[in-house]
Chain A
Amino acid sequence: MSSCNYPGCTVGIAIVEDEKALVRLYEKAFIRKNIKICFIAYDGIDAIKDYIVCSPRPHAVLMDYRLPVMNGLEAMKEILKIDPDAKVVFLSADIAVRDEAMRGGAYAFLKKPASITDITSVVERAINAGLRAENKTV
């Protein structure tokens, strides 16, 4: 189900996470930092669909690894096929996938549990990197 319904989402982040408590946490953290949330997806397939549909696209994606239907690694690869400049920040408890995620084109990898400061800091960097490609900054 698409949740790409944030109006005026010109600069922002997409959250792909199946744990609702974590989704709420990330929302609170990003709102505090004035980072817009473009869409929230709870599985890999929805993440890809929303990414395609949302316009404009999010400048960064906060991706979990263990997701229903399709895992975050495969979802990232599909997103990167659609948009090679996509900035995917992995936030996962599965440290074993770090290397594969980075090789697959992830912008960064954070191990759960990470502090809110670390999460928002890395996401801001990813968004700025995305904006630099469009000559804008947050």
Chain B
Amino acid sequence: MNITSIRTKMLLLFITIIVIPLLIGGILGALYFHSTLRDTIKEDNLAQAKSLSMYVDDSITSSVNYLGSLAIRPSIIQAMADNNSPVIVDNLRYAENSTNFYSLYVTDTSGKVLASYPDQALAGQNFEDEPYVKQVLATSDRQVMAPLVNRTGESAIFVSVPITGKNGSLTGVMVGEIDPDTIGDRILYTQIKNRQFIYMVNSTGTIIVHTNRSYMDSRRDYSAVPLVQEVMQGKEGIKENYNPIEKQQRLAAYSPVKSTGWGVIVAVPVSIAYQPIYNVYYAIAAGLIGLIAISVAAAYLFSYNLIKAILGLFEAARAITNRKPYIGFLPMDRKDEVGQVAVCMDKMARRIENERERILEERNRAELFVDIMGHDINNLNQVTIGNLDLIKDDDNLTPEQKDSITDALNSALGSASIIDNVRKIQAINVEKETMHPEDLNNMILECISAVLKPADRGVTLNYSPRPGLMIQGSSLMKEAFCNLINNAVKHSEKDVTIDISVSEATKAGKKFYDVSIADNGPGIPDQLKPKLFNRFQRGDTKAHGKGLGLFIVRSLVEQAGGNIVAGDRVAGDYGQGAKFIVSLPACEGCQ
């Protein structure tokens, strides 16, 4: 596709007008959606983390409250005072059936288990060293501890509350165990979407619940994760962060479980978290591509009609220039300005063709006239000259008769010379002479050998031959130099010396040969120099001539791509003689 073509420019223009606004709109839209969606995604994830932490908080709190309410029942207090284990077991059984606790037991103040459910074998065992018992005994405060390893070696959440007697003194500890999976299955895992990771850590950053079971079993330490550190401090938020344990960049929302100091974290790989944003980008890009394609097609179709007509004008103009059939390219059937231009072009082309034919006709006529002159009149001249030649040396002629014959002979010769010049001018004008390599040196030498030397004067020609000076010239080119040399002889009334030399010059990076023809004749007055090469311009010597010679010389030289200047042999003093310099481009590579 030519970038300078009008079709391309039109397409580019339409594309620019339509596509660029679309692109700008698309980019702005994408940026807006990016920002909005990003915030929405973050808010969604944070809201999810917060709701999960609230659920956990509620669940644990309700479990603690339940246990607490159980611990203050008079039946329990009395049963402990009476050492009535079955009553305690009944209560514990009811609690186990109604709550998340999978194991409950009651100890006295020494830590000895008085009753337990469902594992009644715990009765009689001493748990005073268990932190969830020890801490309650020490502080009389409710405790929630996780993850701790239970007696079967599994992680569990321990809720322990004090049991106080009628007098308000501490009489024992009621302990309930919650399976972390319960929290996970009932609360956390039901909320998983889009490949999220949901986990819960305690106040030291240890995993309580995790979608990766092995982390739960090993109570994996997540305290190194930056946002875990934040949630351990009771903060909530959402961040993109690199999880060094999972070795993954994630978007993680975190929220504390206020009642326990735990934290719930909802994490998702960044590439998945922002998938909606990417989807929007894809949709915008697809939409843009579609719109651009539609607009390019529309631009092409719209411009096709107009551009086709303009291109038709272009093709027609080219065909007219190359003289080939053009009418088929012109959109002359259009009713708009383009159609009018086409009609005008057709008229112009016809007029040009008519003019061309007329010019050709006139040229042919001129050639006929020249031909008639050149042949028929020259034949008559031959008769005249020949017969005068025959009688001019007759001894019986009087001097007057001889003068008359001489004048008649010269006139006939003059007539022949004019015909000769006219033919040369015609040949130059119609470019009948084709250019070919010519040896400048040979042309000069031939002119020197053919110079017309008058009987009553001496003619000295000085020239140092330099073979191999090749130029591109016509076969008439020699005439130029012969004319100049013969002019130098013709216009001098005394003995004449003509110096001819060739030098090389460089003009506009091209090599030229400068041929200098200088004589010691009367020279050319300054006022004549500017008009010297005009047609019919004569010098002011007595030499005969019709003023066509230098015009022909100039025409020949210029036809070969050169130029000629007339000056003085001695600069500033024309009376010392004339000097012509013919400058011709060298024929590079010619032989």
- Point out residues on A near B: beta carbons under 8 Å: 19, 21-22, 25-26, 28-29, 32, 66, 93-95, 112-117, 119
B383 pairs with A116, CB closer than 8 A = no
Closest Cβ of chain A to B396, distance in Å, is 15
Majority secondary structure, A binding face: helix
B: contact size bracket: 10 to 19
The smallest C-beta distance from B552 to any residue of chain A, in angstroms, reads 15
Query: Given A66-B375, A93-B375, A94-B375, are A112 and B382 also a contact pair (CB < 8 Å)?
Result: yes
A45 to chain B, nearest CB (A): 21
How far apart are the CA atoms of A89 and B379 in the complex, in Å?
16
Interface stretch among B386-394, B445-453, B517-525, B537-545? B386-394
Query: Given contacts A21-B383, A93-B378, is CB(A113)–CB(B390) below 8 Å?
Result: no
Q: Which residue of A lies closest to B385 (CB)?
A: A113
Q: Is B416 an interface residue (CB 8 A)?
A: yes
B390 touches A116 (CB 8 A): yes
CB-based contact B386/A116 at 8 Å? yes
Closest to B375 in A: A93
CB distance A113 to B382 under 8 Å? yes
Chain A residue at minimum C-beta to C-beta distance from B378: A93
**B423 at interface, CB cutoff 8 A:** yes
Q: Separation in Å of the A32 CB from the closest CB of chain B?
A: 7
**Residue in contact with A28 in the complex, picked from B375, B390, B412, B413, CB distance below 8 Å:** B390
Cβ of B382 and Cβ of A22 under 8 Å apart?
Answer: yes
Pick the most buried of A21, A93, A94, A116: most chain B CB atoms within 10 A of its CB. A93
Q: Contact check, B387 vs A113: say whether CB atoms are below 8 A apart.
A: no
Q: Is the CB of A19 within 8 A of B379?
A: yes
A25 touches B387 (CB 8 A): yes
CA–CA, A113 and B387, complex, Å? 11
Q: Which residues of A contact B413 (CB under 8 A)?
A: 113
Residue B374 CB within 8 A of the other chain:
yes
The answer, yes or no, to whether B381 is at the interface (CB within 8 Å) is: yes
**Per-residue interface assignment for chain B, residues 384 to 421, with 1 indicating a CB less than 8 Å from any chain A CB and 0 otherwise:** 11110110000000000000000000001100100000
Given that A93-B374, A95-B423, A113-B416 are known contacts, is A25 also in contact with B381, CB under 8 Å in the complex? no
Convert B127-148 into 0s and 1s, putting 1 for each residue whose CB lies closer than 8 angstroms to a CB of A: 0000000000000000000000
B329-385 residues at the A interface, CB under 8 angstroms: 374-376, 378-379, 381-385
List 20 A–B pairs whose Cβ atoms lie within 8 Å, in order of A's numbering.
Answer: A19-B383, A22-B379, A22-B382, A25-B383, A25-B390, A26-B386, A28-B387, A93-B378, A94-B374, A94-B375, A112-B416, A113-B381, A113-B386, A113-B412, A114-B385, A115-B385, A115-B389, A116-B385, A116-B389, A116-B390
Contact between chains at B390 and A112 (CB < 8 Å):
no
Query: Is the pair A22, B383 in contact by a Cβ cutoff of 8 Å?
Result: yes
Chain A residues contacting B375 (CB-CB under 8 Å) are 66, 93-94
Distance of B369 from chain A, by nearest CB (Å): 14
Q: Which interface residue of B384, B386, B389, B423 has the most chain A CB atoms within 10 A?
A: B386
Residues of A within 8 A of B378 (CB): 93, 112-113
With A93-B379, A112-B381, A113-B416 known as contacts, the answer to whether A25 contacts B386 (CB < 8 A) is yes
Among residues of A, the one whose C-beta sits closest to the C-beta of B387 is: A25
Bound form: Cα–Cα A115–B388 in Å: 9
Residue of B nearest to A19 (CB): B379
- Known interface pairs A25-B387, A29-B386, A112-B381; 14 further A-B residue pairs with C-beta atoms within 8 A, sorted by A's residue number: A19-B379, A22-B382, A22-B386, A93-B376, A94-B374, A95-B374, A113-B382, A113-B384, A113-B413, A114-B385, A115-B389, A116-B386, A116-B389, A116-B390
